[in-house]
């Protein structure tokens, strides 16, 4: 059997094709056969690089997450913003339609897939909270815009509630439930000086993603 001389190109082709199909049809309505036919590869050519459709989706999401991380790094490292302003900016840019809409079009509800939910939790504890949110909170402590003696724990709590509790792709929720959770989120973190983090613009964005999570046309 001839060896693939360009395995990286093949992997990128599979991921590019799968990402497009997941966005167009959603994860649940995209089959491995769809990916095989769209790439023009054989089933063996796919399985040589990925164990399953779930495995492909996992890598597609990781790739999107890496692109989002580049944007978050720019906010974290912006010398012109206070810690609190950086938190507000992070929340807005992380939900920007150009970056997040495709995720909400693709994803199944996380509670229906243990691997995807575990991946989201791992990302919170290993990447987002320690690499982005905690450093921003520490800056906020230094510049006086945020008040806490526990920046690590505050960062983790903020991301668990925003990315799991409020997130419309974790479980089915009503618009009223999403609004109520956003209001409670603001109340919970106000004592730390973190005020108006989720404003009406963000609420409206979350509600639009709620409709996408119900797998209405994207």
Q: How far is it, in rounded angstroms, from Cα 79 to Cα 82?
A: 8
Question: Which CATH architecture describes the domain 1-50?
Answer: Orthogonal Bundle (1.10)
The backbone torsions φ and ψ at residue 75, rounded to the nearest 5 degrees and listed phi first, read -70, -50
Average pLDDT, the chain: 87
pLDDT band at 173 (very low <50, low <70, confident <90, very high): confident
Rg (CA), the chain: 19
- Residue-level pLDDT at 25: 81
Give the pLDDT score at 4.
56
Q: Would you state the pLDDT for residue 70?
A: 84
Confidence label for 213 from pLDDT (cuts 50, 70 and 90): low
Q: Which of 61-65, 96-100, 150-154 has the highest mean pLDDT?
A: 150-154
Token pair of 67 as six digits = 């692109």
Classified by CATH at the fold level, domain 64-213 comes out as Tetracycline Repressor; domain 2 (1.10.357)
CA angle 184/180/87 to nearest 5° reads: 50
pLDDT digits (tens, 9 = 90+) for 123-170: 899 999 999 999 999 999 999 999 999 999 999 999 999 988 998 878
Query: Angle 121-193-201 (CA atoms, 0-180°, nearest 5)?
Result: 65
Candidate from 58-62, 138-142, 172-176 with smallest mean pLDDT: 58-62
User: Per-residue b/e over 118-137, b at no fewer than 16 CB within 10 Å?
Assistant: ebbeebbeeebbeebbbbbb
Q: How many other CB atoms are found less than 10 A from the CB of residue 210?
A: 20
110 vs 135: which has the higher pLDDT: 135
Beta strands in 2-148 (DSSP E): none
pLDDT of residue 63: 81
Greater confidence (65 vs 104) lies with: 65
User: Which tokens hold the place of 151?
Assistant: 């920046």
pLDDT tens for 28-56 read 888 999 999 999 999 999 999 999 988 99
Are 129 and 155 within 8 A, CB to CB? yes
Domain locations in the chain?
Answer: 1-50, 64-213
Q: Which two tokens stand for residue 41?
A: 């590869």
CB within 8 A of 137, min separation 6: which ones?
83, 87, 146, 148, 151, 154, 155
């Amino acid at each position: 059997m001839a060896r693939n001389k360009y395995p990286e190109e093949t992997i990128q082709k599979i991921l590019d094709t799968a990402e497009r199909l997941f966005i167009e049809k959603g994860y649940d309505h995209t089959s491995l056969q769809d990916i095989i036919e769209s790439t023009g590869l054989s089933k063996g050519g796919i399985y040589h690089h990925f164990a399953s459709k779930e495995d492909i989706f996992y890598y597609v999401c990781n790739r999107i997450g890496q692109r989002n991380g580049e944007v978050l790094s720019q906010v974290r490292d912006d010398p012109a913003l206070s810690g609190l302003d950086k938190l507000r900016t992070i929340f807005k840019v992380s939900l920007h339609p150009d970056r997040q809409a495709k995720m909400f079009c693709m994803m199944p509800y996380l509670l229906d897939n243990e691997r995807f939910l575990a991946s989201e939790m791992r990302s919170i504890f290993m990447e987002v909270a320690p690499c982005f949110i905690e450093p921003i909170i520490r800056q906020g402590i230094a510049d006086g815009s945020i008040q806490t003696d526990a920046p690590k724990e505050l960062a983790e709590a903020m991301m668990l509630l925003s990315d799991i509790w409020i997130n419309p792709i974790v479980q089915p929720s009503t618009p009223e439930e999403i609004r109520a959770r956003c209001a409670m989120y603001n109340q919970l973190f106000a004592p730390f000086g973190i005020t108006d983090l989720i404003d009406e613009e963000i609420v409206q964005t979350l509600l639009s993603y709620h409709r996408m999570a119900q797998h209405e046309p994207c």
